[in-house]
Structure 1
Amino acid sequence: MKKVYIESGCIGCGSCEAICPEVFEVDGISTIKKDCDIEKNASCIKEAAKICPVEVIKYQE
């Protein structure tokens, strides 16, 4: 996985942080933690993208 990002429209529900706390942090809206290992956490990033109710979590492989 090369990149993970969050498009505008996040509703701050916290589901991404619940599934992948090593990468996502929610404080009103979701953000990606600095210095997180996206390769190591690729499977939970994909799962977080699937469960995002507003489909704003995107990644590039």
Structure 2
Amino acid sequence: MAIVIDAEECVGCETCVELCPDVFEMDDDGEKAIVIKPDSDAECVDECIDTCPSEAISRE
């Protein structure tokens, strides 16, 4: 399952980047998070999904 971020829902809080920097980073503008390893099975991804304030992160 691929990890995805709904860019329209992302508020740029950087929580996912702080919790799981090997999977997420901020875009070039520093406004939205992006997935850099969509196939990662890191345990921190589930924590990111659970803590995202805008519920923008999911697995598809």
Given the two structures, how large is their TM-score scaled by the length of structure 1?
Answer: 0.80
Which residue is 1:53 aligned to? 53
Structure 1 SS opposite 2:34: strand
- Structure with the largest fraction of strand: 1
Identity of aligned residues (%): 31
The CA distance in 2 between the partners of 1:14 and 1:48, in whole Å, is 10
Structure 2 SS opposite 1:25: strand
The CA distance in 1 between the partners of 2:22 and 2:5, in whole Å, is 15
Structure 2 SS opposite 1:38: coil
Please state how far the C-alpha of 1:15 moved relative to its aligned partner.
0.2
Unaligned runs of 5+ in 1: none
4+ residue stretches of structure 1 with deviation over 6 A? none
The count of residues paired between Structure 1 and Structure 2 equals: 55
What's the C-alpha RMSD, in Å, of the aligned pairs? 1.2
Please state how far the C-alpha of 1:59 moved relative to its aligned partner.
1.1
Alpha-carbon deviations, 1:25-59, whole Å to 9, x = none? 022101011xx3502x1x11100011100001001
Residue 39 (structure 2) pairs with residue 32 (structure 1): no
